[in-house]
Amino acid sequence: MAGLSGLRRLLLNKELSKKVVRMERQRAFFNLESAKSIGVVFDATNESDYNKVASFVRHIQTFHKTVKVIGYVNYKDLPHFIHQRLAYDFVLSKDLAFNGRPQNTFAKDFIKTEFDLLIDFNLSLISPLKYITALSMAKCKVGLMSDEMKTYYDLMIQGVESNDLPRFIKEVLSLLEDLQPKK
């Protein structure tokens, strides 16, 4: 089965390479104060991770920011712990093309949205979320330091393990509170 998933990943990466080259994205740097719209990408398969990211989103919303969230759930149906919210959309495993590309209209709309900031909590580099982040038209993309994702991010956070979501969230908040964009 690893051969099939490897083939899917290869096909997705090939598609991404072609699309990213043609992308024309306006880049700019934003901090938590200057950003008006924020996109959040995360793996919602695990209840604990879902709750941690939902808590982060609630915190960001207290700053009166427009926040849109897209999560990937590696199930055919939404699990019991996910509560539908207006600002949240979910890509399920049944919503993927053969290569792992999300086929939902809302995923396409999320990609087209020019968020001031896109925060990628996809620490495991799950293909559908990688696709969304890579093609996002967000002006500033923030994620975990990764050779695989360095082409797509504008700001990368290093020194955090790929399984330490709470620490990564803390580092993202610290970076976005301290970063001072050019005037």
Q: Which domains does the chain have, with CATH numbers?
A: 2-178 (3.40.50)
Helix (H) or strand (E) holding 119: strand 117-121
Return all residues near 34 (Cβ < 8 A) that are at least 6 apart: 116, 181
Q: Encode pLDDT of 103-126 as tens digits.
A: 999 999 999 999 999 999 999 989
Per DSSP, the three-state class of 100 is coil
119 phi and psi, to 5 degrees? -110, 120
Q: Encode pLDDT of 57-82 as tens digits.
A: 999 999 999 999 999 999 888 888 99
- The reported pLDDT for the residue numbered 1 is 45
CA distances from 132 to 47, 55, 81, 151, 166 (A): 21, 22, 23, 14, 22
- The reported pLDDT for the residue numbered 182 is 61
- The reported pLDDT for the residue numbered 150 is 87
Residue range 84-106: mean pLDDT, rounded: 88
Per DSSP, the three-state class of 74 is coil
- The reported pLDDT for the residue numbered 181 is 62
pTM: 0.89
Indicate the average pLDDT of the chain.
89
DSSP-assigned beta bridge partners for residue 71: 42, 90
